[in-house]
Structure formats: structure tokens, C-alpha cells
Structure 1
Amino acid sequence: MDRLTARGVAIGYGGALIVQDLNLTIPTGKVTALVGPNGSGKSTVLKTLARILRPQAGEVILDGKAIHAQPTREVAKKLAILPQNPSAPEGLTVAELVAYGRFPHRRGLTLTPSDRRVITSVLELTGMDPFADRPVDALSGGQRQRAWIAMALAQETDILFLDEPTSFLDITYQLEILQLLRRLNRDHNRTIVMVVHDLNLASRYADHMVVLKSGRVVTEGAPKAVIRREVLRDVFGVEADIVADPRTGVPLCLPFDLAAGAGQASVHPAPSEAESLDALEAAEGGVR
């Protein structure tokens, strides 16, 4: 049974909608990648599914109930989110960062033996146990991202959201993070939902892909159903060859030209997704 669904969701600010009439079901026990051009609504959809943003219309359903009608602490026991480029206070150690993930389960200020067992377990799972006493700001980019993933895992949720988890990482760390997420999915039955810019990485590591453009779902399905020349042309404005990965058989795209009419700047460009979200959060007094 799929646990997380958006029904008729609209997200925006003032009279401008970023996402319109979103109907989407996240497959339980799978890795789902949200892809699309800049400003397509990927992060907006992710934050709304994770209860960071409240839709103007429609609702997000988690385990049969509207997600905003559920207590915050209870939702935090079911899903965790790792935002883009998170930052930790200077000098905070990896172990201290991971301990924050126990907040939904704690009733006091002191960590219980159960809390400490979970922290030790997720540090080992993410390969961060040798760095437990090291300050987060002294880590490499890939190590820092693994530390944040460990914190999210310490919440002991079945659903994990990640907003561009491979941004600003070189290819070694990108593969390291995506392979970790794949192991979490396959070996620990975590449902993973992530925003990914690189279509080929999304195709390699996701079971399910959702393609967004201008706040709407254009198509979704397995990579073989989504990575098609007409989708790349219509959504991303590029012409591309599609080849099969020689190791896995999943489709990979090789862009070779702009599609006709693509790449020309608009005289009055629409606000970017980031700009729209800034306005939305300012209007609402911050996200909820």
C-alpha cells in the first residue's frame, strides 16, 4: 500500500501559482527522483510532500490522513527531510549533529541508552563512525552530506526526502551518496524521494521518476518509460540520443543540440522557484 499521496495540490503566493493541480503518489519502498528544468517546482513539491510548505488547495495524505492534520512530532517519526545545503553551528561534532535526529523520540534533554544505540548504528551505517568526534565544518563535502543523512536516519523514519543531495559534490562523492541511498532502500526498506538535476544519475539510481515542468507533472514511471527523446525535447529543450547503460540496461541520455526554439531568453521571465518560495515564505511568516 502506498503511504504518501498528493491530491489536487496547488502551491503559490498571492495570485501566482508555482504548482497547480498536483496529483501524485509516491511508491512505497522505492527510490523516486523528481526531475525537471530549473524553476519547474521540484523543490516546492518535495517540501510540500514533506509538510514544510502548506498547499493553497488540495491536500497531502500520509497513512490515510491529511498530513497537516497530524501532530508534528508524529509526522517526524514517519518522514525526515534533508534540505539543500544544510549548515551546522560552528564546532558541532558529527555525533552531536546526529543526536538532533532523536528529537521526535525524546521526552527529556538526556539521551537514553536507546538513543545512543540508534546514533551508533546510523554512524556505522553511513560510514561516519570514525568521524563521530570531528566538527562537521572540518569534513569534506561528501563526508558532511553523509553526516546529515545520518542525522535524518536517526529519526528512524521509513520515508526520507532529500533536496539535491549531490549538489556541489564531485563525481566520486555523488556516487558515494547515491549508492548509500540505494543501500538504505534495498537493505533497510527506506522509501527515498529526492530532487536530482542529473538525469543519468536519476535513471541509474531511481526506480521511479517524476518529470515536472512549470509546476505540473509531465510524465512519470520507470526510467525506461520516462527517458525518451520527446520528453527531453519538450521538457528540457534539448535533442538527445538515448543509449542503454551497458551494465544495467537503464536508458542514458546524450544531449547533442538545443531543440528548436529552446535557449532563447524571455522578455519578461517568470520568477524562479527560489524567488517564488522566498515570497511565499515571507507572506506566510515562514514555512510550517
Structure 2
Amino acid sequence: MTVLTGTDVGIKFGQRWLYRHVNFELRNQRVLAVIGDNGVGKTTLIRAILEKQKLTEGQLNWTNQKPVVRYVPQERPDAQDFPLRISEFVSLSFDQGWQPWQTKAEKAQIAHILEDTNLVKLANRRIDRASGGERQRAYLAQALLVNPGVLILDEATANLDNVAKYELMDVVRHYRDHHQLSIIMISHDLEIIQEYADDYLLLKPDGSEFGEVKDLDVTQLEVGNQDHA
């Protein structure tokens, strides 16, 4: 089943088109990797999906009612400012934020997410004293706490060492396999793309290419760099 469809999407800044005639599908319980050279506009497309950027042309259509969408960035500098335990930081995802009088259901949901993201033993560690991989799993746990239908990972593994990035993506895959979760991820990491993504959207200045990762011509990729366009 298709969750989100992009039809002839085009985004223009001033007189410059980032791209035009971009077509893709996000399918249920699949991982869509958004890839392309630096500056091509991957994060800009994500902003459009999050309704923070208007399309110049084309459409983004949810198949049914728009699901809950949550976003996990590459890093959150503000996390260093939180003197909160990881369990408290994760619970900020609730509408009312962290409260010492959480309901029984809320406490159970937090415990479930901490277990799913392998953070149970770290629940009492302060977020500002956690390692990069631990913080990234806390960002992920916070996003998953409200049971989203779509999860967006924006270079979420870029600052992690080889062990931590696979740990994070294993958690994502495990959660996807056991919940109705569809995932969009921006990545320049070819190994991560080939291991965890099902489909790809390759953005180019003159359009796009969409297909299954097994059919991706990797010679088209500029691997190892990051962009925020």
C-alpha cells in the first residue's frame, strides 16, 4: 500500500529550480532513501513533506488521512542544555511534555519505547552526558513515543561510529517490522542505504529517479558527504 505519493514535484528558489518532475512513492512499512549530490535539495524536500516548505509545482498526497509524522535530525545542539534524564527527555514527546505525574498508560509507553530502543539501562543517565549514539537513540525514542505512522531520519547516522550507526538502524528496522511504520531517510552512507533501505529516490537538478535499492546504480552517488539543502 502506498502511504505518500509525490507527483511532478518541483521546488524553485528565485530563478533557480532545485529540481522538477520529481515522482516517488513511500510505501507502507518500507524504507525510502532520499539520495543525491550535495546541494540538490534533499532536506528541502523533507521540509516540504513536513509542510514547512511550499512546492512550486506538483503535489504531495497522503493516500488516506495524514498519519502522525515524526522527524529525527542529525544532531540536536539543544540536547546539551537539558539537565534531564534520558527517560525524562524521551517523555517530552507527549503533548504536555514531561510531567512527574504521568499516567499509568504513559509510563507503560515510555517503558516500552526505552526497551525497543535499548535504553532501559541508560534511562537515568543525563542526556547531556550521553554518548553520540546514546543521544541519537534518545532522539529516536522520543520520536517513536507517540507511535507515528511515518518516521523521517535526516542523516541520523552521520555523526556515529560504525558500531553505533548499525545499532541505531537495527532498532529502526526492528520497530518498523513490528509496527505500522514507514520511513524516509536521507543518507550518504552507501552501506546503510543498501542494508536498510527498500526503495530510493535519487534527486537530480533535472528531475529524479525512483526505484528499488537492489536496482540502484551506485556510480551515480556522491558518497560520504552531507548537505542541508
Q: TM-score band, normalised by the shorter chain?
A: 0.7 to 0.9
Aligned-residue offset at 1:51: 2.5
User: Do the aligned partners of 1:30 and 1:191 also contact (CA within 8 Å) in 2?
Assistant: yes
1:12 counterpart residue number? 12
2:82 counterpart residue number? 90
Secondary structure in structure 2 of the residue aligned to 1:180:
helix
2:185 aligns with one of 187, 190, 194: 194
Aligned-residue offset at 1:215: 6.7
User: Do the aligned partners of 1:94 and 1:134 also contact (CA within 8 Å) in 2?
Assistant: yes
Amino acid of the structure 2 residue aligned with 1:79: V
Secondary structure in structure 2 of the residue aligned to 1:20:
strand
Distance of aligned partners of 1:187 and 1:64 in 2 relative to their CA distance in 1, 3 Å threshold: closer
1:222 counterpart residue number? 212
Supply the distance in 1 between the matched residues of 2:222 and 2:107 (Cα, whole angstroms).
50
TM-score scaled to structure 2, two decimals? 0.86
- Corresponding pairs, count: 224
Distance of aligned partners of 1:273 and 1:176 in 2 relative to their CA distance in 1, 3 Å threshold: closer
User: Do the aligned partners of 2:9 and 2:57 also contact (CA within 8 Å) in 1?
Assistant: yes
- State percent identity of aligned pairs: 29
TM-score scaled to structure 1, two decimals? 0.70
Amino acid of the structure 2 residue aligned with 1:17: W
Amino acid of the structure 2 residue aligned with 1:36: G
1:50 counterpart residue number? 50
Aligned-residue offset at 1:160: 0.6
1:78 counterpart residue number? 68
**Larger RCO of the pair (alpha carbons < 8 Å, separation 6+):** 2
User: Do the aligned partners of 1:30 and 1:192 also contact (CA within 8 Å) in 2?
Assistant: yes
Amino acid of the structure 1 residue aligned with 2:138: A
1:62 counterpart residue number? 62
Supply the distance in 2 between the matched residues of 1:200 and 1:188 (Cα, whole angstroms).
24
User: Do the aligned partners of 2:89 and 2:98 also contact (CA within 8 Å) in 1?
Assistant: no
2:149 counterpart residue number? 158
- 1:37 correspondence with 2:27: no
Aligned-residue offset at 1:201: 1.8
CA-to-partner distance for each residue in 1:83-107, whole Å, 9 max, x for gaps? Answer: 221232331321222112222xx59
Secondary structure in structure 2 of the residue aligned to 1:134:
coil
Supply the distance in 2 between the matched residues of 1:155 and 1:79 (Cα, whole angstroms).
10
Distance of aligned partners of 1:20 and 1:112 in 2 relative to their CA distance in 1, 3 Å threshold: farther
Supply the distance in 2 between the matched residues of 1:223 and 1:78 (Cα, whole angstroms).
26
Amino acid of the structure 2 residue aligned with 1:200: E
Q: 5 Å matches for 1:1-288?
A: 1-64=1-64, 78-87=68-77, 88=79, 89-103=81-95, 111-214=102-205, 216-217=207-208, 219-226=209-216, 228=217, 232=219, 235-236=220-221, 274=228
Supply the distance in 1 between the matched residues of 2:97 and 2:221 (Cα, whole angstroms).
48
User: Do the aligned partners of 1:10 and 1:56 also contact (CA within 8 Å) in 2?
Assistant: yes
Over the residues paired in the alignment, what is the CA RMSD in angstroms?
A: 2.6
Highest CA radius of gyration, 1 or 2? 1
Distance of aligned partners of 1:220 and 1:22 in 2 relative to their CA distance in 1, 3 Å threshold: closer
Supply the distance in 2 between the matched residues of 1:111 and 1:181 (Cα, whole angstroms).
26
Supply the distance in 2 between the matched residues of 1:273 and 1:134 (Cα, whole angstroms).
31
Secondary structure in structure 2 of the residue aligned to 1:3:
strand
User: Do the aligned partners of 2:91 and 2:98 also contact (CA within 8 Å) in 1?
Assistant: no
Supply the distance in 1 between the matched residues of 2:43 and 2:206 (Cα, whole angstroms).
10
Aligned-residue offset at 1:172: 0.6
CA-to-partner distance for each residue in 1:126-157, whole Å, 9 max, x for gaps? Answer: 01122222211111111110000000001211
User: Do the aligned partners of 1:19 and 1:45 also contact (CA within 8 Å) in 2?
Assistant: no
Amino acid of the structure 1 residue aligned with 2:88: E
Amino acid of the structure 1 residue aligned with 2:141: A
Supply the distance in 2 between the matched residues of 1:139 and 1:214 (Cα, whole angstroms).
39
Amino acid of the structure 1 residue aligned with 2:213: P
Aligned-residue offset at 1:78: 1.6
